[in-house]
Amino acid sequence: MVLTNKFEIATNNIREKAVSIIEAGLLSINIYKQVNEKVNLIQDTLIVLGQRYNLKDYNRVFLVAFGKGSSDFAASVGNILSWRLSGGISLDIKKPDIPMFETSPDIDFLIGTHPLPSSLNVVATRRIEN
């Protein structure tokens, strides 16, 4: 259940259908769910949308994510890669809603602004570049 007050809202047949449509829409944009369906780790092989990457071929792996939703994306990928991820940085308008596992690497979650650029975005972008 996505909506916590689903039963208060869905008081008749039309409202029940509306709630079902809203919940389906919310689930389809659930970043954690989407990442976990499309990104997998089997032993040392990272699989992203069917493309395979042998992590043994890399000395270090870093994550860079930016844009709305990138903090939840970064947290989700960090949880999947765990200790195999050397570190990461994410620029979003908020901190992630998804808890990080204790085995997850250090990911810097930077806060910027949207839709208008700001000095926060400039500083964060420079950190990403470095």
For 9-59, the pLDDT digits (tens) are: 899 999 999 989 988 887 788 888 899 999 999 999 999 999 999 999 999
pLDDT of residue 87 exceeding 60, the answer is yes
**Which position has the higher pLDDT, 103 or 20?**
20
Q: How far apart are CA 75 and CA 72, in angstroms?
A: 5
Sorted by where each begins, the domain ranges of the chain are 32-129
Q: Which pLDDT belongs to residue 112?
A: 92
Q: Which pLDDT belongs to residue 73?
A: 93
- CATH, domain 32-129, list 3.90.180.10, 3.40.30.10, 3.30.750.24, 3.40.50.10180: 3.40.50.10180
The DSSP letter of residue 84 is G
Q: Which of 35-49, 68-82, 104-118 has the highest mean pLDDT?
A: 35-49
